[in-house]
Amino acid sequence: MPDGRLSFLGRLNRTPKHRLAGWAVLGYAGVVCAGALVGAQILLRARSRWVPGEFMPVVRRGNDVLLPFSRETLSRGVVGIMPLLPNKGHAVLGPPEREKALVRRTVQHERGVLPHGSLAWVSTFVYNGTPMQLGVAYEDVAVRTEVGDMPAWHIPAISESDGSGERDAVVIVIHGHGGHKAQGLRALPALRRSGAASLFVTFRNAHGAPRVGRGHLTLGDREAEDLTAALRWAAEAGYRRALLFGFSMGGNIVLSALRPQHGPLALPVPGVLLDSPALDWLDVARANGRRYHLPAFMAAHMAGVVKWLVTRFGGQNFAAVDQLAAAPTFTRPILLFHGDRDRTIPVTQSDALAAARPDLVEYHRVEGAKHIRCWNIDPQKYDSAVEEFVHRVLNTGTTPSFISSEEHPHA
């Protein structure tokens, strides 16, 4: 007597092969389109209010902190921790060590108090506030753009504190997709020691910035106009040159701003710093399909649909933000960081850029680092590379030959 299973298999065997093939194609297309819709929405919209992290109780034993097992607390390298109750402070904790059912980390730097028994926010992003979390004074400023004012933090150079008013170089730091200005605060001490001022900026449709149209991102294309506006702000503030420092999508924004379609720049830009940059968005879509264990052919098809959807609804020109294709035209020295455990932006993109332009790129491929977590693995090495690069490009004695007066009419 056939059971339901055999009955089903019997009906399946009697179904014409062309009909089965049609159902398979429809099912495949449905999966691809559903995944592509989700992927396109992620690419087009990013307005997260909070810096990612986890909340947990703190056990304090002298200079050590014991925390529960979690994705953040077990992460390689350092993490940041901010107690919420009973009072606020901030600390940087060293690498993890397992202790029975807990994770032990040593306090490396502490501002305020991290008390025993407090409830705390723990994150590999380390900081979730303002430069005051590092004890650095700053001023809130607005970068005027054609779509509204972009909020920014301005940190004058240490040398400016003598009241002379002399301003030379500023490093303009721009965060990534779904990020916040706090994303770049890990590099602030190194930038301070380099002698340069800093301007931490955001861009349209990010949290805290003006919303434009439907709030869709263009993956670095139109956002580059907000960065060029930041260069104008710096020129009007008296700075004579600027370095650009981009994280993730911010790296694409930096490279897009330097391309000819965005016109002349308000200041000379003698160098660029990139951390885990998104250089090829179609490749990012493919890689994230593979991240969720899709076969390579399905991930490729899904990425193609994502590209079509993003172009259709966001008006995105993928060629305008394909920085690997544009690499032969780059002219400025680049300091590049990327972790080999990055599951968001494939490290192979930075490998390709470094291979294409060894004459310009100083590449730090960080073993064990996840997306935008290169600093966490070895803060001292990261900071040293940043300081040395800034000193090198700012102290060559002359303006690099690839910067022309036509390109920088306000310089």
Task: Determine how many CB atoms are found less than 10 A away from the CB of residue 227.
Answer: 27
pLDDT (tens digit per residue) in 339-352? 999 999 999 999 99
Any bridge partners for residue 364, and if so which? 337
Confidence at residue 281, expressed as pLDDT on a 0 to 100 scale? 86
For residues 163 and 254, the model is more confident at 254
Q: What is the pLDDT of residues 69-112, one digit of tens each?
A: 999 999 999 999 999 865 678 999 999 999 888 999 999 999 98
Residues 6+ apart with CB under 8 A from 19: none
Measured in whole angstroms, the distance separating CA 248 from the mean position of its chain's CA atoms is 3
Q: What would the mean pLDDT of 109-133 be, rounded to a whole number?
A: 92
**Second CATH level (architecture) for the domain 54-123:** Beta Barrel (2.40)
Domain at 131-394: CATH architecture: 3-Layer(aba) Sandwich (3.40)
- Asked if residues 95 and 78 have their Cβ atoms less than 8 Å apart, the reply is yes
Tell me, yes or no, if the pTM score tops 0.75. Answer: yes
Domain boundaries, the chain: 54-123, 131-394
Q: What is the predicted pLDDT for the residue at 50?
A: 83
Percent of the chain with pLDDT over 90: 62
Mean pLDDT (the chain, rounded): 85
- pLDDT surpasses 90 at 373: yes
Quote the longest CA-to-CA distance of the chain: 97
Tell me the residue type at 310. Answer: V
Q: Which residues contact 162 (CB under 8 A, 6 or more apart)?
A: none
Q: pLDDT tens, 279-328?
A: 998 888 877 766 666 667 666 666 666 776 777 777 778 888 999 999 99
**Distance, CA of 191 to CA of 322 (rounded, Å):** 28
The answer to whether residue 411 scores a pLDDT higher than 50 is: no
Residue 21 pLDDT greater than 70, yes or no: no
| Predicted local confidence at residue 191, as pLDDT | 97
